[in-house]
Amino acid sequence: MRIAFLTAHEGVEQIELTDPWKAAQDAGHEPRLIATRPGTVQAFHHFDKADTFPVDETVSDASADDYDALVLPGGVANPDALRMDGKAVAFVRSFFEAGKPVAAICHAPWTLVEAEVVRGRTLTSWPSLRTDIRNAGGDWVDERVQVCQAAPSTLITSRKPGDLKAFCEAFTTEFARGVAAAH
């Protein structure tokens, strides 16, 4: 299974990228880093610069047709930049339109709000997004992980880095179900 990990060129919370990436690899999937610019992505530990990661493909060149699932890591700046990028928003929306599973953690649901894909769905996030999600027609819950199987695609969300273990277990399980169902 090829999994797109979408980030802006700067601002992704490093642990919200690296832990899910490793979980995807450990589950036998092929993660690929999709970003708004070529080169490298600058990750952060909260507000401090952390490591950089090589970009596999820009969102301008990427297509949901080439991927089986999408992961949206958080960080405050990352989804804020993504939601201002029309191509990134369209890329996210295309996974929902194709019925492919999507996983998002922490502040990442801001991009989902912008993509207009939360209406009628139950999801969780960093608590400060609760009003944005509700205003966009979603049902916000305060849970470590939330799996919403509203048609046409499954959405797995989580609140924060402290929930990463549950988030990784949930999205790898749901992504594997999607693969099994497709075959």
Question: How crowded is the C-beta side of 45, counted as CA atoms within 13 Å?
Answer: 3
For this structure, is 168 an active site residue?
A: no
Q: State which amino acid sits at residue 137.
A: G
Identify any residues that bridge with 30 across adjacent strands, giving them in sequence order.
2
For this structure, is 107 an active site residue?
A: yes
Q: State the alpha helices, DSSP H only, in 27-76.
A: none
Q: State the alpha helices, DSSP H only, in the chain.
A: 14-26, 77-82, 86-97, 109-114, 130-135, 164-182
Catalytic pick among 9, 29, 46, 107: 107
Residue 46 — left, alpha, or beta (φ > 0 → left; ψ -120 to 50 → alpha)? left
Counted residue by residue, the chain has a size of 183
Residue 19 — left, alpha, or beta (φ > 0 → left; ψ -120 to 50 → alpha)? alpha
Catalytic pick among 106, 148, 168, 183: 106
Give catalytic residue positions: 106-107
